[in-house]
Structure 1
Amino acid sequence: MIFGRHPVVEAVRSGVNFDKLILQKGVRGDFEKEIRQLSREFDIPLQVAPKERLRKWTSANHQGIIGLQSLIPYHRLENILPLVYERSEMPLLVILDGVTDVRNLGAIARSAECVGAHALIIPQKGSALINGEAIKTSAGALNRIPVCRESSLVNVIELLQQSGVQVLVSDLQAEKYIYDLDMRGPVALVVGSEDTGISQGVADRADERFIIPQAGSTDSFNVSVAAGIMLYEALRQRLQG
């Protein structure tokens, strides 16, 4: 944690990775404008919170601003994709659309790294923080697989499709089974929120929808289990050629 106006501004400008900035409600003037500009320029989520919330983080003189440093570096998808293609590899990416439980995020990262996925993509807002528990659950995979934090998943999907990557989403109403899809080419697999699933805007832009076969009566698999199944199917197809 970094707090205080000058220390936070200098840390942002020097490239320190932040999970988010917390600005005290009621702060106005040039400093507020500067923080909002920096959060946009450096793609850092900005949260406005009452003074009492900031006091829970520190009793020191925080001057109305706290920055929560990230435990991992964040990458840009636009930089990852060219490197994958340059290595003559087929991109395998995982998009987390509203996964808010840190243990689910960590478990998905572990499965993704195990099958050789090239990156995880998370949204700036509405995603679990990558904290110590997430890293522990991932068995350290979050330190090895690139994580891309992007402002808009809709824009991410457009970039992927323009780059030749097929975007696939799980849908209980879909007619195709997961093993009916060809995952040997460039693929991005979307996993949704634990409660509400994949957001409509993301689902509408997918190239294909599929269902994971079930025999029991439970509504669906846990999101991290479903992600593991999806990733394993992609790996199985690629190993078979």
Structure 2
Amino acid sequence: MTEKIFGIHAVQAVLARNPERIKNLYVQRGRGDKRLQEILSLAASASIAVVQRAREELDKMVEGRHQGVVALAEPALEYREKDLPDLVAAAGSAALILVLDGVTDPHNLGACLRSADAAGVTAVVAPKDNSVGLGATVFKVACGAADVVPFIQVTNLARSLQQMQQAGIWVVGMAGEAESSLYERDLKGPVALVLGAEGAGMRRLTRENCDYLAKLPMAGSVSSLNVSVATGICLFEVVRQRQP
């Protein structure tokens, strides 16, 4: 079984980190700009054969902007629900879990994974139902982060939150109606940040299993932020607080 990875950054990230995953590499015939040359150089270093195809042929291979490069690759390392306790234990007091409840847009998931990688997140957790999983669009938007950040889909999110709490993790749910700001909370210890999808937010049972709720202060007329934007802000507030 193979998966399609497309886009300059996504393919370049796999070639740089896990070139053994790439089975076939296709590039747009006649294209020779600097960014593509970097990919060709990485492919040559890993002894990966490159096949040139017309742009129209690449268009038929994927849905989305391929930027002249498509790779067929072995699936990335798949993390399972049973792996979460070990990841949490290994992270210790630095554990930082991002929980996405009901995010169905692959572009948002990809952007969240990219922020999670930059912030040093231990794992990203999402429910299996009514939630998007890893796919070609997610890999493209994540720009390589989907290959390195553990992404775990769980069958029962409420139960997983309870298990995190039992492991000593404080669970913070982001909700616009919360009384206190995220900036008022102590986030230096092991923490899980829970964000819901735009509009609906967190589900009731998810909300009930949070230790406390927090909000981002909003000064304008807009009532909420895109979930990927909110994720970046929240994660880097944790990073800021944990700086020496």
With the length of structure 1 as denominator, give the TM-score of the two structures: 0.68
Partner of 1:193: 197
Partner of 2:151: 147
> Which stretch of structure 1 is more off in the superposition, 73-82 or 210-219?
73-82
Amino acid at match of 1:81: P
Distance 1:142 1:196, change over 3 A: same
- 1:4-83 paired onto structure 2 within 5 Å: 71-83=75-87
Amino acid at match of 1:229: I
Partner of 1:156: 160
Shift of 1:172: 1.1
Partner of 1:123: 127
Counterparts of 1:80 and 1:202, CA distance in 2: 18
Counterparts of 1:224 and 1:204, CA distance in 2: 23
Residue 203 in structure 1 maps to residue 228 in structure 2: no
Q: CA RMSD in A?
A: 2.0
Shift of 1:77: 4.5
Contact 1:166/1:186 (8 A) holds in 2: yes
Structure 2: unaligned runs, 5 residues or longer: 3-73
Q: What do residues 132-175 of structure 1 show as CA deviations (whole Å, max 9, x unaligned)?
A: 11111111101000111110100111100110001101111111
Q: What do residues 174-211 of structure 1 show as CA deviations (whole Å, max 9, x unaligned)?
A: 11111111111110111111231100100011001011
Q: Aligned match of 2:186 in 174, 182, 185? A: 182
Partner of 2:71: none
Secondary structure, aligned partner of 2:243:
helix
Q: Percent identity?
A: 36
Distance 1:150 1:87, change over 3 A: closer
Amino acid at match of 1:212: L
With the length of structure 2 as denominator, give the TM-score of the two structures: 0.67
Distance 1:196 1:146, change over 3 A: same
Q: What do residues 190-239 of structure 1 show as CA deviations (whole Å, max 9, x unaligned)?
A: 11112311001000110010110111101111110001010000000011
Q: What do residues 45-73 of structure 1 show as CA deviations (whole Å, max 9, x unaligned)?
A: xxxxxxxxxxxxxxxxxxxxxxxxx9433
Distance 1:123 1:215, change over 3 A: same
Contact 1:97/1:123 (8 A) holds in 2: yes
Runs of 4+ in 1 over 4 A off after TM superposition: none
Partner of 2:225: 221
